[in-house]
Amino acid sequence: MDFQKELITEFEKESSSTRKVLEAIPEDADFGWAPHEKSMKLGKLAGHVAETNGSWATHTLTKDQLVWNPEMKGADPATKAELMEMYDKQVAESKAALAAMTSERWETHWKFVMGEHAFIDDTKYRVWRTWVINHMVHHRAQLGVYLRMMNRKVPGCYGPSADEM
């Protein structure tokens, strides 16, 4: 089995499914809406989903460390058009970085730190699987719940959804 080819195929599939969910957000959606006071606003959640597949993925592949500081803010697009433009640009960059990976680079470590505390310290492969792919799927599912709460159709990611049957 070609390990690199499998990772690229999986990323392509998940990126395509993610794009379907982001496209399901209505053009006139209120990106400031949240279903609960403790929930992320729609725009912030959609931006986080997009960045997980995008700049977060690229950073994981091309750098060895991310040093967090309080001034760092994630994407918070105001419109669907802004969201989709950001997603397409960033995913293209992620795909190029993924294609350039080598077996040796997958075994190197990646850290996410704040001061002396390391939130993540693992191989690039495990960070990719957990903090890029799995993390994106988790938040994409949250976005599906938001769509349902807005009485919008939820696209299927692993076969047809109830709205597609």
d(CA 76, CA 48): 8
Q: Residue ranges of the alpha helices (H) in 24-116?
A: 42-53, 55-62, 80-99, 103-106
Structural domains in the chain, CATH included, are 3-160 (1.20.120.450)
Q: What is the distance between the terminal CA atoms of the chain, rounded to a whole angstrom?
A: 35
* Residue 86, pLDDT score: 96
Reference 131, options 142, 141, 143, 119; nearest CA is: 119
Mean pLDDT by 10 residues, the chain (165 residues): 91 97 96 95 96 95 92 89 96 97 94 92 96 97 96 95 90
What is the reported pLDDT for 2? 86
Q: In this predicted structure, what is the pLDDT of residue 75?
A: 86
DSSP of 97-117, one letter per residue?
HHHT--HHHHTSEEEEEETTE
